[in-house]
Chains A and B, each alone.
Chain A
Amino acid sequence: MGNKRLVQGNEACVEGALKAGARFFAGYPITPSTEIAELMAEKLPLVGGVFMQMEDEIASIATIIGASIAGAKALTATSGPGFSLMQENLGFAAMTEVPLVVVNVTRGGPSTGTPTKASQGDFMQARWGCHGDHPVIVLAPSSVQEVYDLTITAFNMAEKYMVPVVLLYDEVVGHLREGVKLASSQAVIDREMPTVSPSEYLPYATGDGLIPKLAPFGSGYRYHMSGLSHDETGFPTSNPATIEKLLIRLNDKIEKNRKDIIKYKAYDLDDAQVIFLAYGSPVRSALQVQKEARARGEKVGLIQLKTLWPFPHELLADVFAATKADFIIPELSLGQLADEVSKSVPQAKITRVNRNDGALITPAQLEQALKGVL
């Protein structure tokens, strides 16, 4: 068990980002994510990276997009109100295919809400917060170790798929302290560089694949990048076929790679009659109840989602087809996750356990829900 350190969730995020090669942070103070900015301010200068405290969250995300366009691995960290402000430029990054990581440590909303308490009310905003059909990947750790590991995964997926990745975890996970191994066997992935000469270069030509090779500004490849619908050269177009082709490709590069992107953990599903389905801090209570139920001989399983978007509809459909199990879905919102699950498994019986008062969902609450189902 050597090498383990007692660290906070937000600290694990910083360590994971540095391990993944992040060298640029721009952000704005907001509870409960601020420790990430504070630690980045301390650590980035030590590795020659850039830390900037910006005038607001709009500037924060714009600045990290600029940094990423110039070739840096960059991130920002925020919470609900700041995440709302970032949406337009998150869409810009999706449209122009600039890799970056946005950490959203979630708190109660709407509006200023409950800044110091956990919530999972940003589940849908993380997917559909900005206008237009756009690609995004959303990852959700439920422990401090997973914050570290999934932060590295987030950068890797951003660089691999040239897409913004949102790391979504609630206040409880962000402020939790656990023993963590700050080491990873994950190889660090860097975005691919063009293989053609500057005179032949088309920034958004993807050949047989779906992912462009965008040269960093200043690398000798001069091109134009715009949030307007554009063609392979990067210049604006009003040609209907070109607009359609771009939008389909942007979304296909994620949809056609669901198998690689969707991460989850399954516990005792084979003979399960009841399955807990959760992400973030509710996983912790659900896991305890699931283990205790199994010890009593009850056929209870658990699915922990680590990738929230793209949503694993086929996984849930397959599990339901094999087990015909009932689902119990605990979440710190009115039911944003459960609504999405009902699209995957319309025939399944779903019991919702919702909490919206800032407190955790307790094992006792889930025990009671389980009794009602069994």
Chain B
Amino acid sequence: MNYKQMLRQNKMPHIWCPGCGHGMVLAAFLRALAQKELDPNNVAVISGIGCSSRASGYLDFNTLHTTHGRAIPFATGIKMAKPNLKVIVLTGDGDSTAIGGNHLIHAARRNIDLTVIVFNNNIYGMTSGQYSPLTPHMKLATTAPYGNFDYPFDLVNLAKGAGATFVARGATSQPRHLEKLISQGLDHNGFSLVEVVTQCPTYFGRKNKMGSPVDMLQWQRENTSTSGKEGTIPLGVFVQEERPEYGANYLQLVKTVAEGKSGE
């Protein structure tokens, strides 16, 4: 299947700014998804609020654009009510780690079979450039005019600590690598999280004098590494383990109870 067939072409052009990395993330996701040969009727894409969360509307699946931070519990309800659906959450750094942080860690703890792709551009873009829990220390934002005195989460370690059974980080500067990571996340049976380092030239880049979108991608090249190079942001798969999946566990419980075996 060609990934372009998965787009609602009549909803183009998208709302993202010139040079924004979100289209690159979406394309990597769709290329990965296209390999799976899924019936589009059985795919549900859930998003929250923010620039990245507009992605759901561009996709020809069952798509749900929810409230800020809550995409994961909405997705949880859909997955538990219809376990045969492939349920994917597209979210941003603010959406998933600030207002939605609680839901993220609890979904990871449950190991429910959702694939969560976090578009991390280090900023709230939709509201024009406020700092998020993933904005690096002392970087500038409209609400951090003297530098961000908060310290950011390491999302990979956060998800790992919460019990996610698949955790990876990719970057828009390496789209083929990113596609591979998302593909592995989609194949994983359990909670999978893929953080994507992406560029926001309009708000984060301009405020922090990072140059053009090309310069920002070049920055990524120099400051990320798949080989664990000292002083860079590590990319790759960090957690990949098998643990019973929440929904399957629940169905087993229902079966056991129905057979009158509970309490034994």
Contact = CB atoms under 8 A, between A and B. Distances in A.
Contacts of A224: 8, 56-57, 63-65
A66 B81 contact: yes
A48 B56 contact: no
Interface stretch (A55-63, A107-115, A309-317, A321-329): A55-63
Contacts of B214: none
Interface in B33-87: 40-42, 44, 46, 56-57, 60-67, 70, 73-82, 84-85
B156 to A, nearest CB: 21
A24 to B, nearest CB: 6
A168 to B, nearest CB: 23
Interface in B77-121: 77-82, 84-85, 102-103, 106
Interface stretch (A3-11, A152-160, A215-223): A215-223
Nearest to A230: B65
Contact of B78 (A67, A89, A228): A67
A16 B126 CA distance: 44
Interface of chain A: mostly helix, strand, loop or mixed: mixed
B62 A222 contact: yes
Contacts of B67: 62, 88-89, 92, 227
Contacts of A54: 73, 106
A62 B41 contact: no
Interface in A227-242: 227-228, 235-236
A370 to B, nearest CB: 48
Contacts of B57: 224, 226, 235-236
Contacts of A218: 41-42, 44, 62, 82, 84-85
A329 to B, nearest CB: 36
A88 B8 CA distance: 29
A353 interface: no
B144 interface: no
B254 interface: yes
Interface in A283-312: none
A217 B102 contact: no
A226 B81 CA distance: 20
B153 interface: no
A67 B85 CA distance: 12
A74 B74 CA distance: 13
B42 A62 contact: no
Given A71-B82, A225-B64, 5 more contacts: A62-B77, A66-B73, A66-B79, A217-B44, A222-B62
Interface of A: 24, 26, 45-46, 48, 50, 52, 54-56, 58-60, 62-72, 74, 88-89, 92, 216-220, 222-228, 235-236
23 contacts: A50-B250, A55-B106, A62-B67, A63-B74, A63-B76, A63-B80, A64-B77, A66-B76, A66-B78, A67-B78, A68-B81, A69-B64, A69-B77, A70-B81, A217-B44, A217-B78, A218-B82, A224-B63, A225-B64, A226-B57, A226-B65, A235-B57, A236-B57
